[in-house]
Every structure is written in structure tokens, then in C-alpha cells.
Amino acid sequence: MDHQQYLAATRDHTTRIATAVAGHPNANIEACPGWTNSELLWHMGEVLVFWKQVIDKKAMDTTVLEWVKRPDPRDLSQWYTEGVAAALETLGNADPDMPCWTWTGPQNVAWIVRRMAHESAVHMWDACKASGLEPALQPELSSDGIDEFLYVMLPHAREGQPIVGGSVHLHCTDVEGEWLVVPGDADVLTVTREHAKGSCAIRGTANDLNMLLWRRLSSFDVEVIGDASVAERFLMRTSLE
């Protein structure tokens, strides 16, 4: 996928989040205990406003950044709409190769734009599920989301998690996308994009695999072949904080 496709996806997801929340502001977000739809709206708006600030200031560290002020609950919807629109304009106008601070990976605007496409996809799924709406996702974007998760999120392990203890093959059944995850020394996981046999294989649609990695679905929602205990340890390993 390219830069413009990520931007378009983020616009679509953030609009659908607003629609879902407007109808059910107090609905609980199952995957985020303690959150309601309104809390999710604040979070998604805060994240985008934060990245706008990073780009506007061409920040290479966080010392020049200011905390995003939370609006009054009565103003939350308007604040979100205006803040997201301004942030998307900034992301769309910025040079994708412009250097700036990011918390991991390449430090440039392109990294932020891709991250926001997938952050907004997951939270759109959350808001729609909480509101009883269908969280339709683009399979190609979800396949890219799996790839981003494996290279961006997977290196950050939850404290106290047991070692995976085997290799994992992930395989999209509806669009292109296959990966092999192999543990090395100190359970450092190496990811390659290939078709290869692992200790277990996890197969499903791109949407289901992506939401499985983000722990929005369980292994019962996909096909697990081989050592199911390896699959479960792998799926519980990553910190989603």
C-alpha cells in the first residue's frame, strides 16, 4: 500500500469512529476494560493531535512537545472532528520522508501515516463492535496491518510472558500475506515474509488474523494447525500498551 492509501484509510476510519460513538457514546469497549466509546473518541483524537504537533514542530525528541489538553465532555465531539481534520491535513501535506520523532522504527512522517492507518482501523473495529455496527475492513489493509504488527509491535514483549517455544507461520486465506516468526536467543523473534512450515500455523482471513494479533479475537476464530500452545504463547506475548 502507498502513502495516499494510508491517508484515505485513516480518513475513513476516523469518520466511522465518530459515527459509531455518536450513536452509542456510553457503550463499553470490550477489548479495553474501563473504556467507553467516548473514551475511545478522546484517545483517537489525542493520538492524531499529538502526531500533528510532532510534524508541525519537526520534533526529533519529546522535550519540545506539549500535553494534549482534554476537552470538556460536552465539547468532545466537536473537538474530535476539528482536531482530526487538522491532523489529517498536516499528515497529508507533510513530506513522507521528513525526519521526525517516532517511538520506534523509521523516524519519519511515512511511519506515522502508516501507524495511524492501522491504529484507526483497530479502534474503528472497537467502536463499531461496541455500537452493534459492522466493522468492515479492507482485506489488503488488514494484511498490511499484520505486517506492521509483526515488525513494529511484536518486538515489544509483555513483562513476565513465557517464551514462545516454537516458530509460527501466519497465512492469510483471502489475500496475499504469509509470514514466518522464528524465536532466537533470549526469545528474540525474527520475522520473514515467506511460506514455510512452523511449529504451528495460524490461518484465517486478513481481517481475522489482524484482529487476532491485536487480541480482539481469539484463536477459536481462526484455524490453528500444529502446536496450539505455541500459538497461544505467541498471541499473548506482545505488549499492546
pLDDT digits (tens, 9 = 90+) for 153-172: 999 999 988 999 999 999 99
Q: Where are the alpha helices (DSSP H) in 62-132?
A: 76-93, 109-131
CA 230/CA 176 separation, integer angstroms = 24
Fold exhibited by the domain 3-136 = Four Helix Bundle (Hemerythrin (Met), subunit A) (1.20.120)
- Laid out side by side, the sheet with 168-172 consists of 189-192, 178-183, 168-172, 200-204, 223-226
Instruction: Tell whether the model's pLDDT for residue 200 goes beyond 90.
Output: yes
What percent of the chain stands above pLDDT 90?
A: 97
In this predicted structure, what is the pLDDT of residue 186?
82
The owner of cell 505488549 is: 239
Q: Please, are residues 234 and 146 in contact by the beta-carbon 8 Å criterion?
A: no
Q: Which three cell numbers stand for residue 90?
A: 498536516
What is the pLDDT, as a whole number, of residue 192?
98
Instruction: Give 176's pLDDT tier (boundaries 50, 70, 90).
Output: very high
How confident is the model over 63-79, as pLDDT tens digits?
999 999 999 999 999 99
Distance CA 92, CA 89 (A): 5
**Strand, helix or coil at 166?**
coil
User: Do the beta carbons of residue 7 and residue 113 sit within 8 Å?
Assistant: yes
In terms of Cβ atoms closer than 10 Å to its own Cβ (0-12, 13-18, 19+), residue 43 is: middle
Residue 173: per-residue pLDDT: 98
Which pLDDT belongs to residue 241? 78
189-192 vs 200-204, strand pairing mode: unpaired
CA 14 to each of CA 7, 76, 96: distance values in angstroms, whole numbers, following the listed order: 11, 14, 20
The domain spans of the chain are: 3-136, 140-237
**Which residues lie closer than 8 Å to 29 by C-beta, 6 or more apart?**
35, 36, 37, 39, 40, 126, 127, 130
Q: Give the mean pLDDT of the chain.
A: 96
Q: How far apart are CA 161 and CA 186, in angstroms?
A: 12
- pLDDT by residue (tens digit) across 89-146? 999 999 999 999 999 989 999 999 999 999 999 999 999 999 999 998 999 999 999 9
Question: What does DSSP say about strands 223-226 and 189-192: parallel, antiparallel, or unpaired?
Answer: unpaired
What local confidence, expressed as pLDDT, does residue 16 receive? 97
Q: Residues of the chain with pLDDT > 70: what percent?
A: 100
Q: Which architecture does CATH list for 140-237? A: 2-Layer Sandwich (3.30)
Q: Which amino acid is at 106?
A: P
Q: Provide the total of helices (H) and of strands (E) in the chain, helices listed first.
A: 7, 5
